[in-house]
Every structure is written in structure tokens, then in C-alpha cells.
């Protein structure tokens, strides 16, 4: 029997997809399931973006494109970076990817190997740890704590850097907590990095356009002093409701760009052409749909936090970004994963158990409020009824 390499015994998963499949299965059986599990906007992609893809197909954009992406799209990403962050990003350093997730895959492959350490947020997007372990590198979790409003803690992250650290991963606004790194923490982090010139940084800014209460997202692109070792992960999925299009972009320092482009050539050749033309229309066209979606998420955010805090044993910090609430459920008497599972199976509400995002996620569940206000209200009512009547085994 042929053996696949050991690394596959260490690769992880993103449980949100398993929950999505289970929710679909329950729905097929005729159950009414409200899905607050998966993190994707419930809106349609703006019509002018869809039209641009249809036009691209009609205009004959059916072939391969350059591996790094079509030139106008790379230029549009660079222009968008300048407008939003003030950073002068060369289009040459922009890589178009099939989804934002691919950038973490490339960056972790590039810096992870046995003996290396990679610092990443915990609770955090599960693929960080999964890929770090896949490469044989040592995952070094940096706790993201409720006591700190789930905000990024620069001092703590810097204290985890050792001579073996090759990469530090940041994610703000954050999944699963909705935490946003205060500008002062980012300043302190970048200042502290001066002591560690060998360390690369990957900043996952996929939720950068989704902040609330007037809080500004601070992109690491705004710090020229780390530009020679900064990888920025971003994309269209969350901002333009384009999760299924599989379209992302990243910015790479000149020293690593070629390695990233070669991985692209070795793996996916290029991102599908019509999706790239759609991405161009999204970036260069009207942005009112982005603000309309953000405003609607904001409205639901308030509903979900208020509703959660009214439930017995549950308390929720108000998230400052993304579209997730990460309530503390430890006083319900339930462990987080059994609670998430029972809510899905018995109450028809899909959520994700906090431990799926790391050890520091125990005691929490993640709810995506990228669902209608009506469904959020129904889900909260079901959760209230469930908690009042059901006890853990």
C-alpha cells in the first residue's frame, strides 16, 4: 500500500465547512436550520461586478492570464492600497490568488519547516495552525483574550518571538472574535519588530473594510519600515460578497515575490479570467454596496450582542469588526463544542465551537451575523429556549 507523507497526519481542517455540510444534510432531511456557522456575507455580489464577469466571458477572456494576475487588476489593487492606506505599493508586488486563503498557504509554506517557529493568533483562523503543523514548524499561539476586548496585544506577540521565529501572523479585524487591533498596538508592534529583522510578518486583512463604531482599520502596509518583510493577505470575498468566486490578492516584498509567483505557476497557473475582470469592476466601480453591507452588518451586530447578553449564562463582548460574535458560554454549564453541536442537532442553529479556533477558544462559540436580522432573532429565541430546557449530558 503506498503511503502519503507524514505531514498529512498533522494537517487540520476548517470545521465551519463540516458544520455547513451537516446543516445542509439536516435541511435535506426537512429540518429548519438557521446557519450562523459559516463566515460569508448573505448578500449577492453587486450586479455591476457580476456583469463585468459576464462581459469578460462574452469578450473572449477564456484563456490563461499571467500567473500573477492581469495587469489592470494588479494596478487597481495597488491604487486601492494607496487610497485606503497611503502606502505606495508597486503593481509588481501584487499577486492575484484564488481566494485570500491561498496567501496564508503560500506564506506558511515559505517560512515553515522543522525547527522554525511561527507565531499566530489563538483563537484564530484554524488554517494558520493547520498549515504550520503541516510544514513541521512549531506553532506558537499568541492568546487573544476576552479580558482585553479580544484586541491584539503587541507586547505579548513580541514576547513570543525567539531566535527560531520565522513568521508572525496578525489578523485584524479578527476571525473568530471580531476584535480589532488598536492603532497604538500596531505602532508598538512595528516599533518592537525593529529588534527582530529576521522575522517576516503576514497580516491577514481580509476583514479590513468591516469595522464599526468609527474605528479605523490600520493596515500594516502603512509602515514602510517593515515593507521589505511584510506579506498582506486581502481579497474580495468578504468586502464584495464574493466568497464563491475564489478571488484574493496579496502584497509581497520583492525578496519573496518570485517564490510566491513560482508557487502560483506550480499550483494554479492563474486565477480564472472572468473572476479577475469582475474583481477589477469591484475595485474601480462604485463602492456604495460595500458601505451598505457594512451598515447592515453593523445593525445586526447590535441585535446579536444585545440578544446574546439577554440569554442565561451567556455574555458577549461587542465585536469591533468582521461579522462574528464570540460569546462566552462557560457559565451555561456546557463545554463549547458539545453546546455548538447540540444547538445544531437539537435547536437547528448552526454555530462553531470556540475550540475549533484554538485552545484559547474553549468557553466560547462563534456566531456569524452574516444572516438576516429575522434569522438572527429566530436563532436567539431558539438558543434561549434550548438553554432553558436542555442540560449537558
By beta-carbon proximity to ligand PLP, the closer residue of 46 and 248 is 248
Residue with cell 506558537: 140
Q: Residue 252 or residue 386: which is nearer to ligand PLP going by CB?
A: 252
C-beta closer to ligand PLP: residue 237 or 351 = 237
- Selected from 37, 46, 99, 353, the binder of ligand PLP by CB under 6 A is 99
Helix (H) or strand (E) holding 349: strand 349-350
User: What minimum distance in Å lies between the beta carbon of 221 and ligand PLP?
Assistant: 16
Q: Is 125 in the site for ligand PLP (CB under 6 A)?
A: yes
- Residue 143, beta-bridge partner list: 122
Question: Would you count residue 175 as binding ligand PLP (CB under 6 A)?
Answer: yes
Contact (Cβ atoms closer than 8 angstroms) between residue 93 and residue 234: no
From candidates 101, 166, 218, 366, binder to ligand PLP by CB under 6 A: 101
Binding residue for ligand PLP, selected from 133, 204, 296, 356, defined by CB under 6 A: 204
Taking CB under 6 A as the criterion, the residue among 41, 126, 208, 248 binding ligand PLP is 248
Distance separating alpha carbons of residues 25 and 14, to the nearest angstrom: 18
Q: Please choose, out of 96-104, 214-222, 309-317, 343-351, the segment that lies near ligand PLP by the rule CB under 6 A.
A: 96-104
**Alpha-carbon dihedral sign for residues 354, 238, 66, 61:** positive
Q: Which residue shows C-alpha cell 492600497? A: 81
Give the residue with the Cβ less far from ligand PLP, 243 or 272. Answer: 243
Residue given cell 469578450 in the structure block: 59
Q: Of 162 and 269, which CB lies nearer to ligand PLP in the complex structure? A: 269
For 21, what's the count of Cα atoms within 13 Å in the CB-facing half-sphere?
4
- In which element (H, E) is residue 142 found? strand 138-143
The grid cell for 125 is 483562523
Using CB under 6 A, count the residues that bind ligand PLP: 13
Name the residue nearer to ligand PLP (CB basis): 352 or 383. Answer: 352
User: Quick check: helix, strand or coil at residue 170?
Assistant: strand
Sign of CA dihedral 301, 302, 303, 307: positive
CB of 139 to ligand PLP, least distance (A): 16
Residues interacting with ligand PLP, by CB under 6 A?
A: 39, 99-101, 125, 171, 175, 204, 206, 235, 237, 243, 248
Amino acid at each position: 500500500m503506498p503511503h502519503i507523507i507524514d505531514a498529512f497526519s498533522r494537517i487540520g481542517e476548517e470545521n465551519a465547512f463540516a458544520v455547513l455540510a451537516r446543516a445542509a444534510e439536516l435541511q435535506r432531511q426537512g429540518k429548519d436550520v438557521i446557519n450562523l456557522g459559516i463566515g460569508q456575507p448573505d448578500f449577492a455580489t453587486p450586479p455591476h461586478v457580476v456583469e463585468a464577469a459576464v462581459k469578460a466571458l462574452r469578450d473572449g477572456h477564456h484563456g490563461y492570464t499571467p500567473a500573477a494576475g492581469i495587469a489592470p487588476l494588479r494596478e487597481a489593487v495597488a491604487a486601492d492600497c494607496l487610497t485606503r492606506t497611503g502606502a505606495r505599493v508597486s503593481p509588481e508586488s501584487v499577486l492575484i490568488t484564488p481566494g485570500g486563503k491561498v496567501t496564508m498557504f503560500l506564506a506558511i509554506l515559505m517560512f515553515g519547516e522543522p525547527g522554525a517557529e511561527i507565531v499566530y493568533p489563538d483563537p484564530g483562523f484554524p488554517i494558520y495552525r493547520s498549515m504550520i503543523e503541516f510544514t513541521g514548524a512549531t506553532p506558537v499561539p499568541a492568546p487573544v483574550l476576552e479580558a482585553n476586548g479580544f484586541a491584539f496585544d503587541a507586547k505579548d506577540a513580541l514576547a513570543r518571538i525567539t531566535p527560531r521565529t520565522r513568521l508572525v501572523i496578525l489578523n485584524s479585524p479578527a476571525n473568530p472574535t471580531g476584535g480589532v487591533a488598536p492603532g497604538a498596538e500596531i505602532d508598538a508592534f512595528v516599533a518592537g519588530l525593529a529588534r527582530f529583522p529576521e522575522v517576516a510578518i503576514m497580516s491577514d486583512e481580509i476583514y479590513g473594510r468591516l469595522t464599526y463604531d468609527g474605528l479605523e482599520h490600520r493596515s500594516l502596509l502603512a509602515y514602510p519600515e517593515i515593507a521589505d518583510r511584510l506579506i498582506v493577505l486581502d481579497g474580495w470575498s468578504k468586502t464584495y460578497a464574493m466568497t464563491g468566486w475564489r478571488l484574493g490578492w496579496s502584497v509581497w516584498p520583492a525578496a519573496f515575490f518570485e517564490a510566491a509567483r513560482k508557487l502560483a505557476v506550480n499550483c494554479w497557473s492563474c486565477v480564472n479570467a472572468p473572476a479577475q475582470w469582475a474583481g477589477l469592476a469591484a475595485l474601480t466601480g462604485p463602492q456604495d454596496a460595500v458601505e451598505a453591507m457594512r451598515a447592515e452588518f453593523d445593525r445586526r451586530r447590535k441585535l446579536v450582542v444585545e440578544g446574546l447578553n439577554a440569554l442565561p449564562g451567556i455574555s458577549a463582548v461587542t465585536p469591533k469588526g468582521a461579522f462574528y460574535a464570540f460569546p462566552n458560554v462557560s457559565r451555561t454549564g456546557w463545554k463549547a463544542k458539545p453546546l455548538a453541536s447540540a444547538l445544531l442537532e437539537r435547536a437547528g442553529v448552526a454555530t462553531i465551537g470556540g475550540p475549533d479556533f484554538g485552545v484559547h477558544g474553549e468557553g466560547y462559540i462563534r456566531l456569524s451575523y452574516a444572516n438576516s436580522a429575522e434569522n438572527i432573532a429566530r436563532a436567539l429565541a431558539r438558543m434561549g429556549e434550548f438553554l432553558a430546557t436542555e442540560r449537558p449530558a
